[in-house]
Structure 1
């Protein structure tokens, strides 16, 4: 169950990042709410995951999901660069997260 909580926490971090992007554009209450709810719930699920997973592993995977997800969402929905080097490094982040899962 801890791994499911960790994946949910990472996905909610992406929601928080989307809220940040919306705050940059719109500066309305809904944008602030998306950001706040995403980040708060992300931390809640991260803390639930850390009951059973080592802190270092949980944090590394949580940030990896958030970083990769935020970058991919930016590329898909906001026209950010799809340079092959950027994609390579995102893949490296994901491979590192999988590696941590395999040895935990």
Structure 2
């Protein structure tokens, strides 16, 4: 169940980043509300996942997987550039997440 909770937390963390980008410094009320609500949901599900994961490992997984998702969605949906440096960074993050998993993180 901890993987489900972590997955939901990641999805809502990605939503936080997208909504915050649209919130115009919290001047756009609907996007501000979406940012705050998504953040609360992400934090709730992260806290549920951390009942099983070590805090450092769970937080590292949450932020890294969300960061990769945000970067890829930025490229796919918003026309942001995905260059070799970003692709290499994503590969390193994925290797780190696999390393955490192989180390018996959860």
TM-score relative to the length of structure 1:
0.91
Query: What is the number of equivalent residue pairs in this alignment?
Result: 104
Q: How far has the Cα of 1:50 moved from its partner?
A: 0.5
CA distance in 2, matches of 1:73, 1:38: 17
Unaligned runs of 5+ in 1: none
CA distance in 2, matches of 1:78, 1:25: 18
Higher helix share: 1
Q: How far has the Cα of 1:3 moved from its partner?
A: 1.4
Alignment of 1:1-104 (within 5 A): 1-24=1-24, 27-103=27-103, 104=105
Cα RMSD between the aligned structures?
Answer: 1.6
Structure 1 residues 52 and 38: alpha-carbon distance in aligned structure 2, compared to 1, 3 A threshold: same
Q: What whole-Å deviation, never above 9, does each CA across 1:26-80 have from its counterpart, x for those lacking one? A: 9422101211111111100000000011001100000101211111111111111
Could you list the structure 1 runs, at least 4 aligned residues long, displaced by more than 4 angstroms after superposition.
none
CA distance in 2, matches of 1:73, 1:26: 22
TM-score relative to the length of structure 2:
0.89
